[in-house]
Structure 1
Amino acid sequence: MKIGLDVGSTTLKCIVLDSKENIIFKSYERHYSQIKDKTVAMLKQVQHELDCEEYVEISISGSAGMGLANSCGIPFVQEVYATRIATGKLIPDADVVIELGGEDAKILFLTNGLEVRMNGSCAGGTGAFIDQMASLLNITPTEMNELAKDYDKIYTIASRCGVFAKSDVQPLLNQGAKNNDISASIYNAVVNQTISGLAQGRPLEGNIVYLGGPLTFLSELRKSFDKTLNTKGICPEDSLYFVALGAAYMSQNQKLNLDFVISLIENYATGGEFHSSKALFNSEEELEQFKLRHEKEKVLYSNPDEYTGNAYLGIDAGSTTVKATIIDEA
């Protein structure tokens, strides 16, 4: 029995293969940064649902899995290599892999050797970006996908940064743009970010494979890629699990006692050094002096029920809020 765990930035995936490398268990869920607890629960679920052997072959992969694997002495498989192994085994004629995760994005060029392009520290154009934009529209990502099926026009929206994208989307909302058009425009922005930011001029051609949560769950995002690339990409069965599958395929070095592995993970503790800024105030006295200094400058208020005379109304219609005030002649 082989177990592959993909500990991603936002989700946890598990694959279990039998002796003939058939999938006998798979699970996908968000971990909400509770990586240790979710991993233990998932492995216990494997034990409960399957007639597990005492010793299993197990490997961990994923962008958030290295620390867990190294601390617990569990073999680690780099996620790009795991993706390549799974793709080569299941889709041997693939030329390009486009994978969008929760907070990362990557393109694997498989023809004439392996070349990998990944995003840096910014999560622009990933699942987190799509979640943020859906929240701005006050809808779910699933509802956004449905809205994008019926659009009339595409707007230009920045996707390299959620802050810049919000500054593009908010005026559109204020001006009455349809959510259908904005939803489709957000997907188009993700496509542009992936192609321009990662491919960087290298053609995306041949058999293109779509992997990762956003490209699995959002059909209109796949269609946006297809339209821009003038192709028909492949979103294979188990597209959510290719990294976990690759880790399972690579679980061949040693067998570990599954109960012992679960115990190691249960006792896993993260550690690190953190730097913080200096305190704003060194004492309660400094804080009180600050308060007294700022309390000297106050806006004077009058009772409007007792005022007679000219009054002046000022309105600030901002991007997300409206503020108003009235002042007298004094």
Structure 2
Amino acid sequence: MLKLGIDVGSTTVKAVVLDGEQTVFSDYRRHNADVRAELAKLLQDVSRELGDAEVQPAFTGSGGMALAEQLDVPFVQEVIAETEVTRRQYPDTDVIIELGGEDAKLTYLHPTPEQRMNGTCAGGTGAFVDQMASLLATDAAGLNELASRYTELYPIASRCGVFAKTDVQPLLNQGVPHEDIAASVFQAVATQTVAGLAAGGPIRGTVMLVGPTTLTPKLTTASPM
């Protein structure tokens, strides 16, 4: 029997179908606040891809619990799911940093398991990146492309999108290159992760980065922070 995982997040829905350890289908898309309609379309695509194959479904994600209860489908809390798959596939990982659509999480796996999450503000998350990208008339992927060509970084507030906008707008008015502003936005996200999530705690060893535009996990070896 194939296994179907469905992740309903704050801004996107995702689905992955596994045949043992092999991925036979995966996709994710923004739901634009119409979760049920977009999820229905996604599952129709899964059905077209798999035909009459029997699947064993499970939900995860911030918006998955209610749907799981209504459909009588198992629900797995997202941090538990993320930690378990990391331990199985990337056992040397020391820290997981996940930047979701409207929340951010940092999980220490070694030496002692510990999980931290941002508060009510979406600073440094996917929503923050989207908002900053819109100021530059682009999207998250375009922001990434711009940042690859930067030459100088500027301080941008990362805790709140409103404060960040008051930093970005003067830079735009001054004619600062969009490339520099884009890179400064990502620097602000990194600063928020270290200052907000880690709260000054160490981020060292092998770090897994999982984000709203990340299709596969990224592993890196970090210098002590």
Fold shared, TM-score > 0.5 on shorter chain? yes
Q: Runs of at least 4 residues of structure 1 off by over 6 A?
A: none
Could you say if the C-alpha distance between residues 183 and 101 of structure 1 is closer, same or farther in structure 2, counting changes exceeding 3 Å? same
Structure 1 partner of 2:182: 183
Larger Rg: 1
How far has the Cα of 1:84 moved from its partner? Answer: 0.6
* In 1: Cα distance, 2:135 partner to 2:47 partner: 41
Q: Quick one: percent identity of the two aligned structures?
A: 51
- Indicate yes or no: 2:1 matched with 1:25: no
Structure 2 partner of 1:8: 9
Aligned partner letter, 2:162: V
* In 2: Cα distance, 1:161 partner to 1:26 partner: 33
* In 2: Cα distance, 1:134 partner to 1:12 partner: 21
Structure 1 partner of 2:124: 125
Structure 1 partner of 2:89: 90
Q: How many residues align?
A: 220
Bigger relative contact order, structure 1 or 2, given CA contacts below 8 A and separation 6+? 1
Aligned partner letter, 1:13: K
SS of the equivalent of 2:39 reads: helix
Structure 2 partner of 1:106: 105
Structure number with the higher strand fraction is 2
* In 1: Cα distance, 2:50 partner to 2:98 partner: 30
- 1:230-286 CA distance string (max 9 Å, x none): 48xxxxxxxxxxxxxxxxxxxxxxxxxxxxxxxxxxxxxxxxxxxxxxxxxxxxxxx
* In 2: Cα distance, 1:151 partner to 1:115 partner: 35
Aligned partner letter, 2:10: S
* In 1: Cα distance, 2:139 partner to 2:9 partner: 21
* In 2: Cα distance, 1:23 partner to 1:140 partner: 28
Aligned partner letter, 2:24: I
Q: Extract unaligned runs of 5+ from structure 1.
A: 232-330
* In 2: Cα distance, 1:44 partner to 1:142 partner: 27
How far has the Cα of 1:72 moved from its partner? Answer: 2.2
Q: State the Cα RMSD in Å.
A: 1.9
Structure 1 partner of 2:41: 41
Q: Extract unaligned runs of 5+ from structure 2.
A: none
How far has the Cα of 1:71 moved from its partner? Answer: 2.3
* In 2: Cα distance, 1:194 partner to 1:141 partner: 18
- What TM-score comes out, normalization by structure 2 length? 0.91
Aligned partner letter, 1:6: D
How far has the Cα of 1:112 moved from its partner? Answer: 2.6
How far has the Cα of 1:212 moved from its partner? Answer: 2.1
Aligned partner letter, 1:8: G
How far has the Cα of 1:13 moved from its partner? Answer: 0.8
SS of the equivalent of 2:93 reads: coil
- Indicate yes or no: 2:206 matched with 1:213: no
How far has the Cα of 1:142 moved from its partner? Answer: 2.2
* In 1: Cα distance, 2:145 partner to 2:198 partner: 28
Superposed, 1:257-296 pairs within 5 Å as none
Could you say if the C-alpha distance between residues 162 and 17 of structure 1 is closer, same or farther in structure 2, counting changes exceeding 3 Å? same
